[in-house]
Structure 1
Amino acid sequence: MFFKQVVSCPCALGLATPTAILVGTSLGARQGLLVRGADVLERLANIDYIALDKTGTLTEGKPAVSGIASFMYEESEILQISAAVENTASHPIAKAIINKAKSLNISIPVTKRQLTEPGFGTLAEVDGRLVAVGSLEWVHERFQRQTDMSDILNLEQAVRQTSEGITPSGYSKTIVYVGREGEGIIGAIAISDSLRHDAEFTGRGSCNIAKAVGIENEFVKSSLTPQGKSGAISSLKDEGHRVAMVGDGINDAPSLALADVGIALQVEGQENAASNAASIILLGNKLSQVVDALELAQATMAKVYQNLSWAVAYNVIAIPIAAGVLLPQYDFAMTPSLSGGMMALSSIFVVTNSLLLQLHRSDGSRKSS
């Protein structure tokens, strides 16, 4: 009985998981992956579906105005009232409109009664009249007088034509509409954003960008509100998928919190709502780090299973031998020193096997280096 107590190694079982997780998270930190929680890598290793935000995630997040169209007003006037409405907003599209107005030295009027609906648009009073800037449906519904749909389609075609040739392939194009009280929709602004150079590493979740990174149309859900994104994540989870969500802004925060694993890109070295809600933060702000995180999680969990397999197998074999199962037939019995040595070696094996995880280098890191 004494030999059984000496040779048995419950500490190997106890060390199997925490040592591998500790090495995995520290290795992730060196790769620019901030992992929040010991269970995150385990959940990430089991992911079978990744949802990707577009603006600021698949794209650079530095949109610019590429076209303005209106059948009634000068482009400068459309840009002026739009910049006034967006002047206090923090969305990248708002910043693009403001930057364009400033670059043309257009004075930006002071607004009143500012209202922002994330994912839809912004509304404010400019020179005594309400002006809305945002998605077509949202702007269209803000005013009693509504623009004829045929005029809206012509407006959309016109703004797309003005931006053609300015934005090459590999650019995302978003159109925001401008409406004014008593007139309905009066203009449209095309916003373009370039595809991240490392977006190809994501493999397979607006359609120009989706095609560029190899995402099939059936996996694309465009123009989603924050609630729509959360609904999409919930639907995938209800179907039995284990979902990771990748995003970068406040509109993505609810989906990041809802997903099995939320992954946030750190923008300009600052924490925001997305990084606060995420389980993993990509400190390098590189989309290819998503692949690095997945590979690291899988490698870490492989080490956990190896360690557990060894610890269980060792105890199953060593304890009966120490109890004398080989003594009657083979005249072999363990000495106290041998039992103690084997017990120590079992723990050393588990720790060493975990430390070997430091040799892991992801494919994403090799490709981006």
Structure 2
Amino acid sequence: MITGEPVPVEKNINDKVSSGTINGNQVFVMQAEKVGDDTLLAQIIKMVNEASRSKAPIQKLTDKVSKIFVPTVVLVAVLTFILWQFFGPEGKKSLFAFVNAVAVLIVACPCALGLATPMSLMVGIGKGAKNGILIKNAEALEQMNKVNVLITDKTGTLTEGKPSVEHIETIDNDKNLILQLAYSLNQNSGHPLSNAVIKKAKEENIKPEKTENFENISGKGVKGNINGKTVYVGNESLLTSHHISISENLKRKAAEVQAKAQTISYVAEGDKVLGFISFTDKIKENAKKAIHQLANEGIEVIMMTGDNEHTAKAVANELGIKNFKANCQPEDKLNEVKKLQQKGKIVAMTGDGINDSPALAQANIGIAMGTGTDVAIESAEITLLKGDISGVAKSRLLSEKLLKISKKTYFLPLFIMFWVFRLRQDYCIRFLEFCCHP
């Protein structure tokens, strides 16, 4: 919940645990050092509330223009009436003054300013919804075009947020055997890596064997008897504790895979290591394309994750993100947003977890993944329903088009007023005389 790591973190004696997180298989005694408002979860809630209150409302461009435009139109209408009273044709001065004053008010009526912008916003929000972009605050859509820095979480935002089988390495090229043995054991376990193995085996239409004497060895892996032989699935320490040696060649291959931020589970039958299965938190399909598109538009992309340095670097390199920070706590993300805002940057923040919510609330525009937690969604102004980060680029494009349309409406009344004043005044006079004296 706090670090956003897709794989459970092992805890030993004297390690700290966070309230609200989930314990694994074994029982442990915990000493509560902080309670109530002092817990980390309570501090996150406090940071979200403070960030939400501190955000100043944006002064809409429509309001700025209207403050000048409306009094100006009224003043011009009054001056028009006065001038025609003095310089109008004899006997019809009042008539000409009245007609032209009313013409100014009607033609230059600021209704376009009052109606066009809300209509543009309504259409923009509707278009966003059709593309899986839920916009809760119209101001966020208006400001999205000005964003020049995007801070993004990793797990669940750039990646799927759950481990999946990436590769199976074997000694005798029998990948199905390794997958079958791992499936047979892991169907008795609720570990996230076990779920990944089960999913992969089902995709390959592999059937499990009957397992006896199953044992879950916390922090190491699982073991059990299959067809009269003891099978082990777990990390290197599991095999070492049972005096099973791993060949140097297999160790070297495992190191190469681990260098790519992948997790390893060895599979052994009896005292023989058959190979290993590697797991990874897959990068989302459109993440790389979206990051490149945003970078090309001049937006600085910063990845901040609670995950370890090794994994963060591998993901950043894969996506082409030059600036990243690992081992981040919720307050680190919040402080980074504040730091950039103090430099005059317009900051957007994307995330999906509880640990992202303070930064989402503080950012100029908070963008939550619809596949994430309710707290993150509640803290953000924009929600990407499909959890696809390419929605950030779409939101920016939508904002750009919206502002162009809105700005055009500011000049439309002036253009119409100029065009109407070119018409002959006698047509207006004759029409009015006809109405008054049919």
TM-score by length of 2: 0.47
C-alpha distance after superposition, 1:179-211 (max 9, x if no partner):
xxxxxxxxxxx9731211211112242222112
- Which is worse superposed, 225-234 or 6-15? 6-15
> CA 1:309 to 1:192, structure 2 compared with 1: closer, same or farther past 3 Å?
same
Query: Which residue of the partner structure matches residue 76 of structure 1?
Result: none
Query: Which residue of the partner structure matches residue 121 of structure 2?
Result: 21
Match of 1:211 among 312, 317, 331: 317
Query: Which residue of the partner structure matches residue 96 of structure 1?
Result: 192
Greater Rg over alpha carbons, structure: 2
C-alpha distance after superposition, 1:70-121 (max 9, x if no partner):
xxxxxxxxxxxxxxxxx9xxxxxxx636858999954488xxxxxxxxxxxx
Correspondence 1:64-79 to 2 at 5 A: none
Correspondence 1:195-234 to 2 at 5 A: 195-200=283-288, 201-203=290-292, 204=295, 205=302, 206-216=312-322, 219-234=323-338
Match of 1:237 among 318, 335, 341: 341
Quick one: distance in 1 between partners of 2:426 and 2:394? 49
Quick one: distance in 2 between partners of 1:31 and 1:312? 35
The CA RMSD over aligned residues, in Å, is: 3.6
> CA 1:3 to 1:222, structure 2 compared with 1: closer, same or farther past 3 Å?
same
Quick one: distance in 1 between partners of 2:148 and 2:164? 35
Match of 1:192 among 250, 271, 280: 280
Letter in 1 for 2:148: D
Secondary structure (helix, strand or coil) at the match of 1:246 reads strand
Quick one: distance in 2 between partners of 1:304 and 1:240? 25
Contact 1:17 1:308 (8 Å CA) reproduced: no
> CA 1:231 to 1:163, structure 2 compared with 1: closer, same or farther past 3 Å?
farther
Query: Which residue of the partner structure matches residue 231 of structure 2?
Result: none
Query: Which residue of the partner structure matches residue 43 of structure 1?
Result: 143
Contact 1:226 1:254 (8 Å CA) reproduced: yes
TM-score by length of 1: 0.55
> CA 1:221 to 1:166, structure 2 compared with 1: closer, same or farther past 3 Å?
closer
Instruction: Provide the identity percentage.
Output: 30
- Offset of residue 10 of structure 1: 1.6
Quick one: distance in 1 between partners of 2:263 and 2:111? 57
Contact 2:137 2:382 (8 Å CA) reproduced: no
Tell which has more relative contact order, 1 or 2 (C-alpha 8 A, sep 6+): 1
Quick one: distance in 1 between partners of 2:146 and 2:159? 27
Secondary structure (helix, strand or coil) at the match of 1:212 reads helix
- Offset of residue 301 of structure 1: 1.2
Query: Which residue of the partner structure matches residue 292 of structure 1?
Result: 394
Quick one: distance in 2 between partners of 1:19 and 1:246? 28
Contact 2:160 2:281 (8 Å CA) reproduced: yes
Letter in 2 for 1:215: I
- Offset of residue 4 of structure 1: 2.6
Query: Which residue of the partner structure matches residue 133 of structure 2?
Result: 33
> CA 1:338 to 1:27, structure 2 compared with 1: closer, same or farther past 3 Å?
farther
Secondary structure (helix, strand or coil) at the match of 1:57 reads coil
> CA 1:263 to 1:174, structure 2 compared with 1: closer, same or farther past 3 Å?
farther
